[in-house]
Structures are given as C-alpha cells and as structure tokens.
Structure 1
Amino acid sequence: MFTPARYIVLDDEPSELDALIDALHILGAPCIGIRFDPLGLPDPTLFAGVRILFSDLHLVQAQPAGVQHYNTLASLLDRCISEQHGPYLLVLWTSHEHERAGLTQRLEELLPAPKRPLAVLALDKTTFRNGNAWDAAGLRQAIREQVTSMPQLQALLSWERDVLAAANETLALLGDLIPDDQRRVGTYPGALDRILSLLAVAAAGATNAPNDRKGAVAAALSPLLSDRILNRPQDPHGNALWEQAVTFQPGPTLTAPQKARMNRMLHLAVPPGEAVSRNDWGAIIPLDEVRLTDPAMTARFGFTTAHLRDQEFKLKQTRRLEGQLIVLRGGANCDQAQGQAGPIPLLLGMLVPSGALSTDKKRSIAIQLCEEKFELAGYDEPVSLLIHARFVITIMSEELQHWPPATLRLREQLLSTILVHVATHAMRPGTLRF
C-alpha cells in the first residue's frame, strides 16, 4: 500500500537524525529516517526504493576510525541493497575527503557491482550546526546542491516521478467511470469492483480472468499507463534537465559484450528478477535430454538433433555440440492472455554462441537469425537466437507442464518480429514461372 521511500537518512544519533529528516521533508522529499543499531540491523525492505541515502560515517561510535567504519557501512549496504536495485547515490556526513575516498574504495572491494552506489558524495555536519541549533536553510541548500550535482541521476528520479504521476492519472481514469450517484462510502467499493471485473474479463476472458485477476486488470491498464508515461506534458525545467543529463557525447563504439548486455535488458525477461512461466507468450523452454533423444526428436520434428544442428541451424563442425535447442511459445497474444482452449504452438529454435555459427553455409530463409545478440549466464561470448519457421509443433497445456521450466521470456517487440517472420514464411506465395 505504501510506496518505498526514495530518500533515506541513516544515523545513530536520534537528535541529528530528526534534524536531517525535517530538512528533507521541507524540501518535499519522501524521506524516512532509520536509527542505526548494531544489535538490530534494519529491515532490507525499507531500502527497496532508495535512490539517495544520507548516512553518518561513524555509525558505531566505539569503533576505531577508518576501515572498521567503512566495513560497517559496506555490510549494511550488502544486506539491504538488492542485486536488482538500480542506481542510487550515497551522501556521506564527513568533512574529510580522504574518508570519502577511502569508503568509496572499500565499497568497491567488498560489494558486488550491482550493489555499489553510483557515487559517494560528502557533506560536513559541523558546517550546519551551532551547538544544538541547526542551520536548516543552509542544510537544505547543501542537500539540494548535492542531489542536483548529478543531472543524470536527477533526470532518472524525474522520470520515476513521471511514472508515479502516470499511475495516479490512470487510477483517476478508473474513478471517472464510476457514476456520481455511486461515489459514496457505502457504494464506491462495489462500483469499483464492477469496473475492475469488466476490465479483467475484457482482457482475459470470462473463464481465464478469475485465474489471474491481477494480471488480467494489469493487461487492461498497461496500455493506458504506457501512453501516459510516453506523452507527459513538456515543461522548460524538465527539458533543460534532460539536456544536461543526456548530452550525446562522442565515445568509443560499444563492444560486442556491451551490446549483448543492452540487448538482454531490452528484449529478454530473465528470472528470478522477472516472472517467467511455460505458458507465457514468448517463453523460451529448453529441450532436456529426454526430448533430445533421436526417437523423440524424429517423432516431433522429423530429424535427429545432430541433423538439425548441422543441416538446419548450420553450426561449425568444430563447435557443433555447443548451444541449446529450445522451443519458443508462440501463437496469438490474446489466446494466451485469455486462456483460449486448444493446442499451444511451439517454435523450434537455438540459443548458441555467435561464434559457433557457420559463416560458410547458407541457412534456409525459414530461419530467423535475430540480429540482436545477448549476454546470458553460462556463455563466454554473446549468444544468438535462431527460430525455425518450418519446425512448429503444438502441444496441450497439460502436457507442457511436464516440460522443463522456462528459462527466459522474449519481450513483445522482438517476439512480434519473430512471429511476423513465421507468419510471412507460412503465407509466402509459390508462383510458377518459366
């Protein structure tokens, strides 16, 4: 129900913690304060949305200065920041540049790359404190300068706000559908239930909607949300911020591994960070040893595994055993979303290291060799995806549940490109001519 705070203040002194929280609240930042207790470490869920973390360097006063303080903060970040967290900024309370540099180096040594802060900045508490009194105005200005010192992070935070605003506007659209005479405490819930139920049935069908009510409503609202995000009103301040953040500076050409990593982000859903199941539209399911035997492959596809690798997908002889034969869950998106009865279409394909593909042999036009190459665990080089339009099988949902779990899911853009290729190949005319 509550949105995780994007600004967190961490301190072991309650009085200083309260003063910093008040300064951020006056700035309009959705902030929470956490008093550090070495005997009771904070709940990691409190850090689920953090983008800027303000932290005292000396969280345990009894510790000797230096590396022990660095280790304490590193241990907390390792516990509370998830591998899938995304960029965040660490603002440190210290007047000593060498401590900021020392902490930065220690975090790079101890933390996995996904958990490291985007940058470590520093503020000096003593600049804003006179005895028990605080220079709140000066503190607010210093915090503002620190937050805005990295326009790229500020732009991403702005985009995140736009997403939240778009979600709020989407909810407002739902509210507009409820008649005025039903906008009462006693009748509003039932009227909203009716609207949500109608949307769920429209998206997933009357039979399937009760099986995944949240997913059905999300499918109906996602296009509205996406449109609201893409078409936010322009404002001069926001435009100026993005001009600072995205400057198109010339740089070296992306390496093949860098391209593969970006393609994975754009086109692949990868568990456990994202949900993937066998029935999902675009699910990639590996063929296990039982289904790769010659009798099983011949019964389903008419050829053995060795023949498919050599003659259809055209792997190099020296690397003909590399890669993985898979099936891709195809069909129509609406059939999958609405749980339509009938066999599920599966397209035969391969995930294979790009260097294992032969460049000397011409592949059939039935094969879609995706130009996008991907970074995948278990491979030492970028991976290519090939889908064969001629080798399509169908299977009932009950049988599919006994197949290996899906390991990936193609996002809609690339999946649609593949399905258009398959449909075009199936519909191509055969013209006789002399």
Structure 2
Amino acid sequence: MFIHSRFVIVDDKETHLDGIKKSLDFLRLDCHSKLYSDETVADWQKLPGMRILFLDQNLITGATFGGETKVAFAALADVVFKLVCPESGPYGLILWAEQPDLEALKDSFFERFTGEDAQLLPVFFTSLRKGDYINTNTGEIVDAQKLQVDIQDRISQSPQLNALLSWEADVSAAMDAVLRSVVNLIPDDDRASDNFGPELGKVFYRLSQAGAGIERATESPREAINRVLVPILADRIIEHDPSSGNNFDWQTALVDPTESPSVPAQASVNSAIHLSFARSEGSAPIKATDLGAVVQIPDNDVSGFLAGQFGLTEAEFLAEIFKVNEEEWKDCRARMVQIGAPCDFAQPKPGPLLYLFAVEWPFANSDGCKNQGADPKRNLSVDTKRKPKDLEWQSPILQFEDGLNAGRISIFKNLAISITRKDAEESLTPLYRFRDEIISQITHSYSRHISRTGIVTLPER
C-alpha cells in the first residue's frame, strides 16, 4: 500500500549515517538508512523501490580500496546481494569516497555478479565526498543544497537512468493528479465532517458502476474502477508539458544500435509490450475467462479436440489449414485464445465466451534462421514460406516460455468455439494473456472475417 524509500544509505559510522539522513530530510527526500556491521548485515531484508544506493567505500575497518581490496569489495557486494530487489527496477550506486577507484569496483562487481545475479547490478557507478555535505567528525550538516545539486549532476551522467527516473516522476505526478481529481468530487462542505469517508465511498461506487455496469458495481470493484482511472492516468502522463522547465531531453538517452535487432531482442520487446504472465509479486492471477487469455487445450488432447469441436483430423488440420509437416508440428503447441469486445468483458452479459483455436510455433533455431539444409523437415523460421492466409492471424515474434526459441502464434478465425464461463473456469488452464491492444486487433480481424460479403457472378473468360 505504501511507497518505499527511493534513497538507501549504508554506512558503518552512525554519525555519518545520521548526517546524510538529516541532509536528505532537509531536502524533503525520504530515505532508508542502514548501519553496517558484520553481525547485522546477515539479517537484512531486500528493500523494494530503491533508486539510489549510497555505499561507504570502507565498510570494514582496515579494509580499504588501497589495501585489502578483496575484503572491501566483498563487503560492498554483500550489501548489494542483501538489499537490492531486482523486481523493483533500476538503481544507481553512489560511493562515498575521498579517493574512489570506481573502475576497480566495477571490475569486481562485473566478475562477481554474473548470470541471473547480473540483475542486481546498478545502471551506473559514481562517487561523492561526504565532507562536502556534512562534518565528518560531528555529522552536522554543512551544505545540503550542494548534495542535491551533486546527486542530480551524477544522475545526469547516466542519461538512460535519468530518463527512467524522469518518467517515474511523471507517473508519480500523474498519479497525484488522478487521486486529487477523485477526491475533488467530494463537496467542500462534506470534507470538514465525518461524511468525508462515506462520500468518497459513494464516488467509488459510481466509478465502479461506470466501469462494470449499473448492476455490477460490487462484483469486482477494483477491476471496474481501474477501467475508469487507468485511461485517465495514462492521459495525465502523456500530457506532461515539455516546456514546463521540469523536463528531460529523451534524445540524450537514445543510442542508435545501427544494426537490425536480433530475433531474441525482437521477441523480448514484443513480449513485454503484448503479453502478460502476471508473474510480479502481488499480481492478480490470470483467469481463463479474462479477455485475451491464452489457455491450454483440455487434457492436452489435440486430436480429440480438433475432431470433437471442428470435425477435423490432425492430418487434415496440418495439410489444409496450418500447412506444416509432422516434424515441424512436434515443436508446436495448440492453444485457445479468448476474444471479444472490451465492453463485453468489462460489463459481462449472460451467455458463453468465444475462443479461437491457436498454435504457438517456435522457430527451429534461436536466431530465427532456417536450418540451411541440416534438417529440412523442421524448418520453421522468421522467413518461412507459411505466410498467413485469410483464415489465419499471425502474431509478431514473441517469447512464450523461458528456455524455448522465440516464435509466433497463429490464430485461426474459422475455428471458433463457445464455452460457458463455468466450464471455462473449471476445465481451462490459463498460461498468459494478450494485452488490450493486440487482442483488439485479433477481435477486429475475426469480426471482419465473419462479416465479409460476397456476390454471385458469372466467371469471366
């Protein structure tokens, strides 16, 4: 419910810790401070939401960068292991040091933090001198304003982190504006009384009605209110005034890669945009009845499903509709995708849900290229000849599962079935969900397919 501190300070000297904390308090910047010792660090917990980590260079007495560097580096690395929460996003590391050796520290960190641990690394390393801001003997504030200016200067040295923090600040300002607009719906006369809470509750009820329908306000109020507030939040973020003076030049954060993105890179970006796996801590689980839900075939009986629902044998489906060979089919996974109008999902009416038959087909090679004759029978690739026909919608390059090659998903507009909500909830297993933009495209493609017109005419010679 509460937003975590963005600044974290770690020091082995209590006077220094208090002095920096008082300086940040003076600047109205919330921070979390940790007094380092060999005995207490083992019990530390991860700190979500951290954006700047201040670390004293010499956390262990006698272990300095100029002397026992391995011990000094190990202490700093232990702090990162203990405190950094990779799910919380990027952060920068600011080292308190009179004579910093950032290159040696970076080399040590890059050597130690490998594989999945690389997610714990900061976006940038920099240093500051405590004595410029506090009295290192007493901890008294010397120049808090200079501390703020120097922090901003160090952050600006990493335009990419600067861009992300600027965007986060825009989101926070937009969030405040949305909350303010909701509370402003309460008349002033009702604020100076015990009616404030109940009146706000009435506003929530109306918002829930707007998102779910007059009779459905209490069924799932969080989802319903989100349908109303999230578009407003997005608009508030977009309408940030670039000429307000509080603006970051995003051009400085861009680095032209010059070369075309690799297939894994395309899959990663496309999947982040279009797929939701609801893996984050606190995420609501995906339901088989959610709009855009991609679900397993019941009992994984693809042959029985094709025959029972569509009157097709597996061989007929491969030869006449999907057009892949049996060897390529072994790498594919049959799915169903729940489609429909967003308003029907937001304000559901009685009746079954519509699902389209689909197939995930990962590429034969991780780079998306053909096998160059090595195995011509298993040759699904980026430039495969199986282009989508009128009956098939084909996705961008996506990553469906860790450890598998990237690929695409094909959805067949002529293979639709209706399933009741109850049966869907009881018999279907959701895997992931298409986000709104792409499921709207799929639904629109399906609606054009079933509403296409034709005329009877005498063929021309």
Q: Verify the 8 A CA contact 1:51 1:88 in the aligned structure 2.
A: yes
* Residues 1:83 and 1:403: Cα distance change in structure 2 (over 3 Å): farther
Superposed displacement of residue 9, structure 1? 1.2
TM-score by length of 2: 0.84
Superposed displacement of residue 30, structure 1? 3.0
SS at match of 2:415: strand
Superposed displacement of residue 158, structure 1? 1.6
**1:234 maps to 2:242:** yes
Matched ranges for 1:295-310 at <5 A = 295-310=304-319
Q: CA RMSD in A?
A: 2.6
* Residues 1:127 and 1:177: Cα distance change in structure 2 (over 3 Å): closer
Match of 2:373 in 1: none
Match of 2:394 in 1: 369
Q: 1:254 aligns with which of 249, 258, 261?
A: 261
C-alpha distance in structure 2 between counterparts of 1:76 and 1:307, whole Å = 60
C-alpha distance in structure 2 between counterparts of 1:41 and 1:8, whole Å = 16
Instruction: Kindly provide the amino acid, as one letter, of the partner of residue 14 in structure 1.
Output: E
Matched ranges for 1:205-216 at <5 A = 205-216=213-224
C-alpha distance in structure 2 between counterparts of 1:277 and 1:77, whole Å = 36
C-alpha distance in structure 1 between counterparts of 2:149 and 2:189, whole Å = 48
Superposed displacement of residue 141, structure 1? 4.1
Superposed displacement of residue 207, structure 1? 4.8
SS at match of 1:401: helix
Match of 1:96 in 2: 100
Match of 2:7 in 1: 7
Q: 1:318 aligns with which of 320, 323, 327?
A: 327
Deviations 1:60-79 (A, max 9, x none): 44878333443344344334
After alignment, is 403-412 or 314-323 more displaced?
A: 314-323
C-alpha distance in structure 1 between counterparts of 2:414 and 2:272, whole Å = 29
Match of 2:80 in 1: 77
SS at match of 2:113: helix
C-alpha distance in structure 2 between counterparts of 1:354 and 1:209, whole Å = 45
Match of 1:147 in 2: 155
SS at match of 1:381: coil
* Residues 1:144 and 1:295: Cα distance change in structure 2 (over 3 Å): closer
C-alpha distance in structure 2 between counterparts of 1:251 and 1:363, whole Å = 30
After alignment, is 69-78 or 252-261 more displaced?
A: 69-78
Instruction: Kindly provide the amino acid, as one letter, of the partner of residue 344 in structure 1.
Output: L
TM-score by length of 1: 0.89
Superposed displacement of residue 426, structure 1? 0.6
* Residues 1:421 and 1:295: Cα distance change in structure 2 (over 3 Å): same
Superposed displacement of residue 122, structure 1? 2.4
C-alpha distance in structure 2 between counterparts of 1:187 and 1:232, whole Å = 34
Superposed displacement of residue 398, structure 1? 1.2
Q: 1:114 aligns with which of 102, 119, 122?
A: 119
C-alpha distance in structure 2 between counterparts of 1:341 and 1:62, whole Å = 73
Match of 1:278 in 2: 288
* Residues 1:160 and 1:240: Cα distance change in structure 2 (over 3 Å): closer
Superposed displacement of residue 140, structure 1? 4.3
Matched ranges for 1:289-368 at <5 A = 290-355=299-364, 356-357=379-380, 359-360=384-385, 363-368=388-393
Instruction: Kindly provide the amino acid, as one letter, of the partner of residue 55 in structure 2.
Output: S
Match of 2:416 in 1: 392
C-alpha distance in structure 1 between counterparts of 2:354 and 2:27, whole Å = 55
Instruction: Kindly provide the amino acid, as one letter, of the partner of residue 121 in structure 1.
Output: T
SS at match of 1:112: helix
Q: Which runs of 5+ in 1 are unaligned?
A: none
After alignment, is 35-44 or 185-194 more displaced?
A: 35-44
* Residues 1:361 and 1:32: Cα distance change in structure 2 (over 3 Å): closer
* Residues 1:286 and 1:74: Cα distance change in structure 2 (over 3 Å): farther
Superposed displacement of residue 362, structure 1? 5.9
* Residues 1:310 and 1:69: Cα distance change in structure 2 (over 3 Å): farther
C-alpha distance in structure 1 between counterparts of 2:410 and 2:331, whole Å = 14
Match of 1:42 in 2: 44
C-alpha distance in structure 1 between counterparts of 2:434 and 2:338, whole Å = 9
Tell me the number of residue pairs that the alignment of Structure 1 and Structure 2 aligns.
429
* Residues 1:78 and 1:348: Cα distance change in structure 2 (over 3 Å): farther
SS at match of 1:23: helix
**1:169 maps to 2:177:** yes
Instruction: Kindly provide the amino acid, as one letter, of the partner of residue 41 in structure 1.
Output: D
After alignment, is 328-337 or 420-429 more displaced?
A: 328-337
* Residues 1:309 and 1:408: Cα distance change in structure 2 (over 3 Å): farther
C-alpha distance in structure 1 between counterparts of 2:267 and 2:360, whole Å = 13
Match of 1:433 in 2: 457
* Residues 1:193 and 1:81: Cα distance change in structure 2 (over 3 Å): same
After alignment, is 217-226 or 50-59 more displaced?
A: 50-59
SS at match of 1:96: coil
Q: Which runs of 5+ in 2 are unaligned?
A: 365-378
C-alpha distance in structure 2 between counterparts of 1:41 and 1:154, whole Å = 32
Superposed displacement of residue 321, structure 1? 1.1
* Residues 1:110 and 1:315: Cα distance change in structure 2 (over 3 Å): closer
Deviations 1:24-59 (A, max 9, x none): 334443322222354353332xx2111111112343
Q: Verify the 8 A CA contact 1:314 1:357 in the aligned structure 2.
A: no
Deviations 1:343-383 (A, max 9, x none): 0111111111145548445654110012x101232454221
After alignment, is 53-62 or 125-134 more displaced?
A: 125-134
Deviations 1:196-249 (A, max 9, x none): 001112211355432322221111111111111111122264445334334x54
Superposed displacement of residue 403, structure 1? 2.9
Matched ranges for 1:394-433 at <5 A = 394-433=418-457
SS at match of 2:252: helix
* Residues 1:354 and 1:162: Cα distance change in structure 2 (over 3 Å): same
* Residues 1:144 and 1:239: Cα distance change in structure 2 (over 3 Å): closer
**1:202 maps to 2:210:** yes
After alignment, is 323-332 or 105-114 more displaced?
A: 105-114
SS at match of 2:438: helix
After alignment, is 399-408 or 95-104 more displaced?
A: 95-104
After alignment, is 153-162 or 80-89 more displaced?
A: 80-89
C-alpha distance in structure 1 between counterparts of 2:348 and 2:405, whole Å = 37
